[in-house]
Amino acid sequence: MGGYILKRLLSAIPVLLGITVIVFLIMAMIPGDPATAILGSYATPENVERLNRHLGLDEPLWRQYFIWLGNLVQGDFGRSFALNRPVLDEILDRFSATLVLAGTAFVLCSLLGILAGVVSAARQYGLADKAITFVVILGISVPSFFLGMMMILLFAVKLQWFPVSGMYSIWGGGDLPDLIRHLTMPALALSVVATGVIARLSRGAMLEVLRQDFVRTARAKGVHERRVIWGHALRAAMVSIIPVLGIQAGFVLSGAVYIEMVFQWPGVGRMLVDGILKRDILLVQGGVVFVAACYVGFNIVVDVAQSLLDPRIRT
């Protein structure tokens, strides 16, 4: 088991390097001169050149990459010129907020999705199946940002159950109940699409598994149908559901960008969009690498979970 984890960790290194290369190359393609972008179009040529030298932008591209990579490894993501603070500090502040939002949404969509999928498969063509299928189709078709806006209209403005936006109340908030009140709507809105996808896939996986011989064996033993479905069949279906959870985590993380805009959530997605509009390259570059690295890490966790579940791939 330890060997498997180690192997998986080592195999992530080339992926991480690849990510830095891709991000660096994309950013290097940005037309125009970063120094000019920072100093503004009225800067003197001497000043631009000095800043270029200072930023190392007069070096050849491959040296720039290795300098940047070397700094990254040491935790130096550079300085955001728009915010005038270290990029890493900003990312860490923002990422914790995203993590709360996306993490909650991910747990929600995994639980609800699998639950709906199993019930749907167990009652195939029944009323519950039809209702779930309908809601799922609606769920995977609605843009999460539109759903979020409609939720604000209904639950925040009309019913006043939840606050309209933000992560904490400005006055007197800051504790856990306050966070939960602010978190409920964005987390729900964010989880809807992934819930639909997971439910649909779980249904398919369960239908596939329920036809297999070992399910008949369990029934022939006299195992109760409830346990056949939620034990024997679901356990086997999880083998194909878990990889999808890994993929959906990426979609939840992506969707968080929209939800953060709609609900004014102080997360990393809003930071990136602001960074792009302000052409704050180091911030965008650092943010993208950081989030992608976290995603790679999460996928390792998924793979390890998969190997814990399935003894056949543990060798």
Any idea which residue has 């604000």 for tokens? 152
134 close to 293: Cβ distance less than 8 angstroms: no
Compute the Cα dihedral for 101, 107, 108, 113 and give only its sign. positive
Buried b (16+ CB within 10 A) or exposed e, 28-40: eeeeeebbbbbbe
Tell me which residues in 56-115 interact with other proteins (CB under 8 A): none
Residue of 9, 61, 153, 180 interacting with other proteins (CB under 8 A): 153
C-beta of 49 vs 240, nearer to other proteins: 240
State which residue, 143 or 174, has the beta carbon closest to other proteins.
143
Structure-block tokens of residue 152: 């604000």
Distance from C-alpha of 87 to C-alpha of 282, rounded to nearest angstrom? 7
Question: Is residue 117 a contact residue for other proteins (CB under 8 A)?
Answer: no
Nearer to other proteins, 173 or 250 (CB): 250
How many binding residues for other proteins (CB under 8 A)? Answer: 80
Q: Name which position in 58, 128, 224, 301 contacts other proteins (CB under 8 A).
A: 224
Q: Write out the binding residues for other proteins, residues 272-311 only, by CB under 8 A.
A: 272-273, 275-277, 279, 281, 284, 288, 291-292, 295-296, 299, 309-311
The amino acid at residue 160 is: Q
Among 190, 194, 244, 257, the residue binding other proteins under the rule CB under 8 A is 257
The yes or no reply on residue 149 touching other proteins (CB under 8 A) is yes
- Nearer to other proteins by Cβ, of 47 and 134: the residue is 134
Are the CB atoms for 179 and 169 separated by under 8 Å?
A: no
Give the residues across from 79 on adjacent strands: 86
Of 92, 138, 180, 301, which one interacts with other proteins (CB under 8 A)? 138
Q: Which is nearer to other proteins, 53 or 211 (CB)?
A: 211
CA distance 83 to 87: 9
